[in-house]
Amino acid sequence: MKNLVNKAINTENLPDDKGYFGEFGGSYLPEALETVMKEVNEAYDRISQDPTFIEELKELNEHYTGRPSPVYHAKRLSEAAGGAEIYLKREDLNHTGAHKINHCLGEVLLAKRMGKKKVIAETGAGQHGVALATAAALLGLECDIYMGAVDVKKEAPNVSRMKVLGAKVISVTQGTATLKDAVDAAFEAYLKDPVTQIYCIGSVVGPHPFPRMVRDFQSIIGTEAKEQMQRYAGSLPDAVVACVGGGSNAMGIFSAFLDDKDVALYGVEPAGKGLDTGRHAATISKGSVGILHGFKSYVLQDKNGEPLPVYSIASGLDYPGVGPQHSYLHTIGRVNYRTATDREAVEAFYALSRMEGIIPALESSHAVAYAVKLAKEIGKGKKILVNLSGRGDKDIDFVMEHYPLEEYEPEENLKDGYDEFLKHIGGERS
């Protein structure tokens, strides 16, 4: 079927009509929600072929978000890494400071076309909530954000942002009062009234059609970057690197390169305190196949199929599942899934800040950390494109408090790998 939203659709053209990428994806929901999802899918099929929708989205992407975001050659970082040249796709420069606005604008425009009055969603650290509240304010829809009571306390600045933007923040006190309970509460609210409201999922996860739809809205990252690399760097990259939480920024940049078999693709999962500590969120690296939040994919789960508690220094990455297309791309060997620890991410956070004047989000820092390693591995003359999914302003206070480094010289330390940095920050920190 013709799809004007995603110009990067590759020859495999997945998912199939039922929302499967190989054995992954689909829709595992109570019957009432099944019907609702079918409606969303049909509406998306319609609008993804409608030139007036494409025109409206294009105008917002350009004049509101500020697209295209540039690709930038990080020369000092590349030199310090001592191998391949590193290029950054600057999603941190988007309005609201990350890639999430790309799919939120698409979802809220879709909601409006479907005649919905209200968009609802869950949020963990508040980043998806803020992006959705922004899009809802822009397009004149109401917005309810479900958030665990624990997170409401922890993420006060984002709660204030959502309120200023006109969203209602609903504090969820049941269970552990964190993200998982917020998801349950949002689904419950959706079931009560699927007519006037619509649930806007925050990554390439959830039941069909969300993994497809969110990927399509994010595919603009890869479509732009591919053209920009050819023009600015003179060729396609040899490797593309992106961090993977649910996997939306990674799918966004990967989707344009899936057919280019000479371009190696790397998804970087959070290894937290270490893969053998149990305190991580490396779903593909350490998980098994299961069902979570209405779809089939790799999941970090216990013997009974209950999701395990997960952890990462980057709150945008600590999710016990992963988008079904990632599970598929892992299974067929098209994308390589690797990990970076908290400390490696903080090292990269400082390195990029001090060598390029760019403060990356801790999520994106995982991708930068792995790219520095990979640069050494594949060597000079090669090019690596990193998706810099967001800016790090939100993380500055936390990093300064937990990893204070007065006399830190990343250029020296990078030459010796991460060992010097690890010496600087000493023992375990929470």
Using alpha carbons, list the distances in angstroms from residue 64 to 105, 286, 319: 10, 39, 29
Peptide bond into 15 cis (omega under 30): yes
Is residue 338 at the binding interface for ligand PLP, with CB under 6 A as the rule? no
Nearest to 218 by CA among 332, 91, 380: 91
Alpha-carbon gap, residue 97 to 407, rounded angstroms: 29
- Closer CB to ligand PLP, residue 80 or residue 256? 256
Question: The sheet that has 197-199: what strands, in order across it?
Answer: 168-172, 142-148, 118-123, 197-199
Min dist CB 227 to ligand PLP, Å, is 21
Min dist CB 391 to ligand PLP, Å, is 8
Min dist CB 35 to ligand PLP, Å, is 27
Is residue 245 at the binding interface for ligand PLP, with CB under 6 A as the rule? yes
User: Is residue 389 flagged as an active site residue?
Assistant: yes
- DSSP letter at 308 equals P
Nearest to 204 by CA among 339, 43, 326, 46: 326
Catalytic residue among 107, 122, 155, 356: 122
User: Which parts of 181-327 are beta strand (E)?
Assistant: 197-199, 239-243, 264-272, 288-292, 295-299
The site that binds ligand PLP (CB under 6 A) totals a number of residues, namely 19
Chain residues 28-87 in contact with ligand PLP, contact rule CB under 6 A:
none
Residue nearest to ligand PLP according to CB distances in the complex: 390
Min dist CB 245 to ligand PLP, Å, is 3
Alpha-carbon gap, residue 145 to 155, rounded angstroms: 13
User: Is residue 365 flagged as an active site residue?
Assistant: no
- One character per residue 176-215, x = contact with ligand PLP (rule: CB under 6 A): ---------------------------x------------
- One character per residue 289-328, x = contact with ligand PLP (rule: CB under 6 A): ---------------------------xx-----------
- Closer CB to ligand PLP, residue 127 or residue 197? 127
- Residue 408, exposed/middle/buried by CB under 10 A (0-12, 13-18, 19+)? middle
Min dist CB 121 to ligand PLP, Å, is 12
Catalytic residue among 112, 356, 389, 394: 389
Among positions 29, 47, 93, 98, the unique one binding ligand PLP when judged by CB under 6 A: 98
Among positions 71, 110, 198, 243, the unique one binding ligand PLP when judged by CB under 6 A: 243
Cα angle: 14, vertex 15, 21; to 5 degrees? 95
State the first-to-last Cα distance of the chain, in angstroms, to the nearest integer.
49
Chain residues 377-406 in contact with ligand PLP, contact rule CB under 6 A:
389-390
Q: Which stretch binds ligand PLP (CB under 6 A): 63-71, 167-175, 180-188, 247-255?
A: 247-255
Cβ 271 vs Cβ 295: under 8 Å: no
Cβ 315 vs Cβ 124: under 8 Å: yes
Give the pairing of strands 239-243 and 295-299.
Answer: unpaired
- Closer CB to ligand PLP, residue 78 or residue 364? 364
Alpha-carbon gap, residue 226 to 222, rounded angstroms: 6
Catalytic residue among 89, 100, 226, 383: 100
Cβ 390 vs Cβ 97: under 8 Å: yes
**DSSP-based three-state secondary structure for 89:** strand
Is residue 127 at the binding interface for ligand PLP, with CB under 6 A as the rule? yes
Among positions 69, 102, 249, 297, the unique one binding ligand PLP when judged by CB under 6 A: 249
User: Is residue 23 flagged as an active site residue?
Assistant: no
Among positions 78, 94, 364, 413, the unique one binding ligand PLP when judged by CB under 6 A: 364
Name the site residues for ligand PLP (rule: CB under 6 A). 98, 100, 127, 203, 243-250, 316-317, 361, 363-364, 389-390
Catalytic sites, residue numbers: 100, 122, 389
